[in-house]
Chains A and B, each alone.
Chain A
Amino acid sequence: GENVEQHPSTLSVQEGDSAVIKCTYSDSASNYFPWYKQELGKRPQLIIDIRSNVGEKKDQRIAVTLNKTAKHFSLHITETQPEDSAVYFCAASPGGANNLFFGTGTRLTVIP
Chain B
Amino acid sequence: KAGVTQTPRYLIKTRGQQVTLSCSPISGHRSVSWYQQTPGQGLQFLFEYFSETQRNKGNFPGRFSGRQFSNSRSEMNVSTLELGDSALYLCASRDDRLGRTEAFFGQGTRLTVV
Q: How many residues of B contact A (CB 8 A)?
A: 26
Is A53 on the interface with B (CB-CB < 8 A)?
no
Nearest CB of chain B from residue A66's CB, rounded to whole Å: 15
Nearest CB of chain B from residue A9's CB, rounded to whole Å: 10
Contacts of A44 in B (CB 8 A): 43, 90, 105
Sort chain A's interface into a size bin.
Answer: 20 to 34
Of A36, A43, A98, the contact of B106 (CB 8 Å cutoff):
A43
Contact B42 A104 (CB under 8 A): yes
Which chain B residues (1-57) contact chain A, with CB distance < 8 Å? 4, 31, 33, 35, 41-45, 48, 50, 55-56
Chain B contact residues, CB within 8 Å of chain A:
4, 31, 33, 35, 41-45, 48, 50, 55-56, 58-59, 90, 92, 94, 101-108
Q: Would you give 5 A-B contacts (Cβ < 8 Å), ordered by A?
A: A49-B102, A89-B43, A98-B50, A100-B33, A100-B92
Chain A contact residues, CB within 8 Å of chain B:
1, 32, 34, 36, 42-46, 49, 51, 89, 91, 95-105
